Amino acid sequence: MSRDIRELLADKEFQRKMEKLAGLYPEERSALLAALHLCESETGCCGEEFQEYIAGKLGIPRASVKGVVTFYEMFHEKPRGKYLVQVCRTLPCMLAGAEILLDHICGKLGIRPGGTTKDGKFTLVTVECLACCDRGPSLMINDTLYTGITPEGFDKVIKELD
C-alpha cells in the first residue's frame, strides 16, 4: 500500500506482473488503466516516476499518461492516506442519510472531504453513485464496500483497521 516507487519498480515480481498486463489485451496500450490501478494499490498514487516508466513500457507519450492519470477519479498524482474513505454522496444515498453519515465521519476523523489525517492513515473523499442504491448509505474503504452503514457502524469498521 505505501511501498516506495523505486523499490516497486525494481521488484522482480512487480515486473512480471507488468509483463503479463502488457500482453493481456489485443493492443498493449489497453493495459494502461490496469497498470495504474496496480501502482495505485501498491504505492497509494501514480506519480511522475511511474508515469514515465509506464509510458516507456506501453509506448504511450508521457503527456498522454499524465492526461489519463488526471482524468480518472481513482488515480492520484500525490500520495494519499493508507485508507481511502470514499463516501457516496449521490441522491439515493442522500435519501438514505449520507449527509448525516458524512458529517459524522468528518467529525470522527477531524478532516473535511479531500483531507488526510495527520498520521497519514485516512484520506476522506466524496464519490458519486456506487451502484448499490437500495442499500445506502454506502462507502468504500480502499477496495472494500460497506452498505447500509450507520455512524456507529463506521466507528466499528475503522476500529478494526490497523
Choose, by CB under 8 A, the member of 77, 95, 103, 156 that binds another protein.
95
Choose, by CB under 8 A, the member of 18, 39, 58, 102 that binds another protein.
58
32 near another protein (CB under 8 A): yes
100 near another protein (CB under 8 A): yes
* Torsional sign, CA 56, 58, 64, 70: negative
3-state helix, strand, coil in the chain (%, to 5): 50, 10, 35
DSSP assigned state of 78: S
Structural element, H or E, at residue 144: strand 144-146
Q: Which is nearer to another protein, 74 or 161 (CB)?
A: 74
Q: How many residues bind another protein (CB under 8 A)?
A: 48
Show the site string, 66-85: x = touches another protein by CB under 8 A, - = not. Answer: -xx--xxxxx----------
30 near another protein (CB under 8 A): yes
Kindly provide the b/e burial profile for residues 117-151, where b requires at least 16 CB atoms within 10 angstroms of the residue's own CB: beeeebbbbbbeebebbeebbbbbbeeeebbebeb
69 closest CA partner among 87, 45, 88: 45
Q: What residues pair up with 123 in beta bridges, in sequence order?
A: 84, 116
First to last CA, the chain: 13
Contact region with another protein (CB under 8 A), list: 8-16, 60-68, 105-113, 116-124? 60-68
Choose, by CB under 8 A, the member of 18, 22, 31, 105 that binds another protein.
31
Choose, by CB under 8 A, the member of 1, 63, 131, 161 that binds another protein.
131
**Which stretches of the chain bind another protein, using CB under 8 A?**
24-27, 29-34, 36-37, 58, 60, 64, 67-68, 71-75, 86, 89-92, 94-97, 100, 127-137, 140, 143, 145, 148, 150
